[in-house]
Amino acid sequence: MRIGVLALQGAFIEHEKMLAALGAEPFEIRQEKDIDKAFDGLIVPGGESTVQGKLLHELNLFNRIRDLILSGLPVFGTCAGLILLARELENDKQTHLATMDITAVRNAYGRQLGSFYTVEKFRDIGEIPMTFIRAPYISSVHNDTEILALVDGKIVAARQGNQLVTAFHPELSDDTSVHRYFLDIVKNTL
Ligand code: GLN
């Protein structure tokens, strides 16, 4: 399985390491010609959503990637990646790829709780470590989007078809289960 990792900015190397540890083949998507290569799934990493959104346009990646996701390419967005995939942002007029039927809130935990760690249940997996860094949460899900995890009553993971998002950073822990969950989604499309 070849998994493209959007490598414009942010925490992409950690995703590549985790994918390699699970026997998948990561490759970095940095420019338009990278999209022409064959790949089975895509990871949109954490970082800064406004910067990544701008770069997607400047590098002519935006429409190519959006079309691939809309035609069913499995995608996994973490943190800023969740923001890029959200169809609606409560506190930002500027949406980005907007392929997933969720409403998200950026920097949703305020200054004090900007970054924190917890252990919570993830549907079909069980308890897993969750690292939040100036994270968003999902305030509501729409249509056939399923809720996969909650922290303090706030939605922090969801899935709609082949689109998976987490507000936290599973790539920053030793626990590979969420990446395995994503690779299972990818496998089912092959
Ligand atoms: N606060 C960032 C944003 O709005 C997301 C933070 C992250 O990806 N760790 O894009």
Catalytic residue, from 14, 16, 79, 96: name it: 79
Distance 63 CA to ligand 1 centre (A): 22
Provide the mean pLDDT of the chain.
96
Active site residue 79: yes
What average pLDDT does this structure show over 115-127?
96
pLDDT at 112 over 80: no
Nearest atom (ligand 1) to Cα of 48: 10
80 lines ligand 1 (CB under 6 A): yes
Tokens of 71: 């035609």
The string of pLDDT tens digits covering residues 40-50 is 999 999 999 99
Tokens 């390419």 -> residue: 73
Who's near 22: CB < 8 A, 6+ residues apart?
176, 179, 180, 183
User: Which SS3 state, helix, strand or coil, does residue 86 take?
Assistant: strand
The pLDDT > 90 percentage for the chain reads 95
Which of 107, 44, 49, 41 has the alpha carbon at shortest distance from 83?
Answer: 49
Tokens 């995703």 -> residue: 15
Distance 190 CA to ligand 1 centre (A): 31
pLDDT at 108 over 90: no
Query: Tell me, which fold does domain 2-187 have in CATH?
Result: Rossmann fold (3.40.50)
The string of pLDDT tens digits covering residues 61-83 is 999 999 999 999 999 999 999 99
Burial of 48 (C-beta count, 10 Å sphere; 0-12/13-18/19+): middle
46 lines ligand 1 (CB under 6 A): yes
Nearest atom (ligand 1) to Cα of 52: 10
107 lines ligand 1 (CB under 6 A): yes
82 lines ligand 1 (CB under 6 A): no
- Annotated domain spans of the chain: 2-187
**Exposure letters 76-103 (e unless 16+ CB within 10 A, then b):** bbbbbbbbbbbbebeebeebbbebbbbe
* Atom 5 (ligand 1) nearest CA: 80
CA distance 10 to 100: 21
